[in-house]
């Protein structure tokens, strides 16, 4: 607006201003709201009306040693710049990031307790205590304070080992795989779904619940999405189970049996913009050490093992035939995969993104045991199977692992049942 004579220009009717502002992504929208009082009025009414639905380009959220412990760096792919946002206590650098969806980040603190936090609004909500998860029991000291946790080792009715004891801050290494927040229009509440160990089982809680609800008996899930009250979860062997979370009981319905025997690729499930579900299989291989032919290959510290993505396979889910149909190209679509919710977008709605690329962050199972590894982050080109760097890797701390997050003004308070 530099040099523009804002004051003397004729005012646009507010409904037209609102229409225009509703096409902007959040940073531009916030800036537009600062231009003058009528734009500010349009901005506030757009936010309060709930009519602002613009799909956002995800940001890469990471922490950095060069900024404070409470600061999240958010890299915008659209503007190619970093925003720094101060988050509520406890420090974001002391937490694990175990998921993101609909603008919410799911974090695990040093007592392995979970919070959801919206970096844009700064709102934070504590989730039901970790000791209400089926497999976790508190162990108290003489004064009645929790001293350790005991983690049970069963799924369904199968005992796979003895329970074992973990310090408060180590439970999160073993327990958590992935978690997302979904807004549930049928009950006007938010649901948090968790993949947790042993063997990657499911539990969920509505915000405001006092405890987690376990979804037995199956296990071995890698990713999930929530559509119209139904939770679809994909297993490490390509099977898909559905759970209706709106009913009084949460019976499992098998949508598709397993599609392979080996567990090698990372599995994702995405809603296609054309409707229907897609499965993505991502193959991450260990980068071999390049040594001289006549020298023995040196022993490698497990912490130095580096992985990179070599292949992505795409499949359309044919729910009627209970089968997968391979797709050769993403065409004009873009995928976001990693620890955040898997997303598929049309490239033309996000002109700064590269069509037929998969924007990925690391997604190793048990990633908390590989904290200092180099992270496998970049834009994977589906045409020639190569990865392009997005942000220089020295910018971020490798732990907590960077994650994609699509910013959102969502407020928990407005979604809570009264």
Ligand X SMILES: *[C@@H]1O[C@H](CO)[C@@H](O)[C@H](O)[C@H]1NC(C)=O
Which residues contribute to the site for ligand X (CB under 6 A)? 311, 381, 383-386
d(CA 397, CA 83): 16
Q: How far is the CB of 313 from ligand X (least distance, A)?
A: 6
Select 3 or 351, whichever has its Cβ closest to ligand X: 351
CB of 355 to ligand X, least distance (A): 11
Q: What are phi and psi of 111, to 5 degrees?
A: -105, 15
Omega before residue 138 within 30° of 0, cis: no
Q: Shortest gap between Cβ of 354 and ligand X (angstroms)?
A: 8
342 neighbors 358 (Cβ within 8 angstroms): no
Alpha-carbon Rg for the chain, nearest whole angstrom, is 22
CB of 392 to ligand X, least distance (A): 18
Burial class (CB in 10 A: 0-12, 13-18, 19+), 364: middle
Compare residues 270 and 314 and give the one whose CB is closer to ligand X. 314
Q: Which is nearer to ligand X, 223 or 265 (CB)?
A: 265
DSSP 17: H
Transcribe 111-147 into DSSP letters.
TS-EEEE-TTT--EEEPSPGGGSTTEEEEE-TTS-EE
Write down the least CB distance from residue 386 to ligand X, Å: 4
- Exposed, middle or buried by CB within 10 Å (0-12, 13-18, 19+), for 162? exposed
Q: Which is nearer to ligand X, 205 or 379 (CB)?
A: 379
As a whole number of angstroms, the distance between CA 264 and CA 337 comes to 17
Cβ closest to ligand X, residue 115 vs residue 357:
357
Cα-based distances in Å from 76 to 25, 30, 175, 200: 11, 15, 31, 32
Q: Which C-beta is closer to ligand X: that of 206 or that of 354?
A: 354
Please, which residue, 81 or 311, has the CB nearer to ligand X? 311
Contacts of 118 (CB under 8 A, 6+ apart): 103, 104, 105, 124, 408, 410, 411, 412
- Provide the strand spans (E) within 141-251: 146-151, 154-155, 158-159, 164-167, 176-184, 189-196, 201-206, 213-214, 221-227, 230-235, 240-244
Task: Tell me how far, at minimum, the Cβ of 358 lies from ligand X, in Å.
Answer: 12
Q: Closest separation between CB of residue 377 and ligand X, Å?
A: 18
Shortest approach of ligand X to residue 284 CB, angstroms? 13
Q: Give the nearer residue to ligand X in terms of CB position, either 30 or 355.
A: 355
Q: Considering the complex, state which of residue 186 and residue 384 has its C-beta at the smaller distance from ligand X.
A: 384
Residue 74 neighbours by CB distance under 10 Å: 20
Instruction: Name which of 304 and 383 has its Cβ closer to ligand X.
Output: 383
Q: Are 279 and 269 in contact (CB under 8 A)?
A: yes
Structure tokens, 198: 């042993």
Residue 312: CB minimum distance to ligand X, A: 7
Residue 322 CB, nearest approach to ligand X (Å): 24
């Amino acid at each position: 607006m530099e040099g523009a004579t804002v004051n003397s220009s004729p005012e646009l009717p507010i409904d037209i201003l609102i229409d225009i502002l509703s096409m902007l992504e959040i940073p531009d929208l916030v800036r537009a709201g600062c231009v003058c009082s009528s734009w500010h009025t349009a901005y506030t009414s757009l936010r309060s009306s709930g009519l602002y639905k613009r799909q956002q380009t995800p940001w890469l959220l990471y922490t950095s040693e060069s900024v404070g412990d409470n600061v999240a760096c958010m890299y915008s792919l659209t503007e190619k710049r970093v925003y720094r946002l101060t988050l509520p206590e406890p420090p974001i650098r002391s937490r694990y990031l175990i998921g993101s969806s609909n603008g919410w980040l799911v974090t695990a603190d040093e007592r392995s307790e979970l919070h959801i936090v919206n970096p844009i609004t700064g709102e934070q909500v504590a989730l039901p205590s970790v000791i209400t998860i089926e497999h976790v029991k508190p162990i108290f000291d003489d004064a009645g304070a929790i001293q350790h946790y005991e983690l049970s080792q069963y799924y369904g009715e199968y005992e796979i080992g003895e329970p074992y004891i973990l310090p408060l801050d180590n439970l999160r290494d073993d327990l958590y795989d992935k978690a997302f927040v979904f807004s549930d229009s049928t009950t006007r509440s938010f649901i948090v779904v968790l993949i947790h160990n042993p063997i990657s089982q499911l539990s969920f809680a509505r915000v405001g619940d006092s405890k987690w609800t376990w979804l037995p008996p199956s296990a071995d899930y890698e990713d999930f999405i929530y559509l119209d009250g139904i939770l679809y979860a994909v297993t490490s062997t390509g099977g898909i189970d559905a759970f209706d979370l709106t009913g009084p009981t949460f019976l499992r319905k098998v949508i598709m049996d397993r599609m392979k025997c080996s567990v090698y690729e990372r599995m994702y499930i995405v809603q296609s913009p054309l409707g229907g579900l897609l499965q993505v299989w991502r193959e991450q291989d260990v980068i071999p050490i390049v040594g001289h032919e006549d020298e023995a290959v040196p022993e490698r510290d497990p912490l130095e093992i580096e992985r990179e993505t070599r292949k992505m396979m795409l499949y359309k889910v044919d729910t009627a035939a209970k089968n997968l149909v391979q797709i050769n190209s993403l065409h004009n679509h873009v995928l976001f995969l990693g620890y955040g919710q898997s997303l598929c977008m049309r490239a033309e709605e996000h002109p700064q993104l590269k069509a037929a690329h998969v924007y990925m962050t690391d997604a190793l199972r048990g990633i908390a045991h590989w904290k200092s590894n180099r992270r496998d982050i970049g834009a994977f080109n589906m045409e020639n199977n190569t990865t392009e760097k997005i942000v220089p890797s020295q910018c971020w701390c490798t732990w907590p692992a960077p994650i994609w997050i699509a910013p959102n003004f969502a407020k928990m308070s407005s979604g809570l049942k009264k």
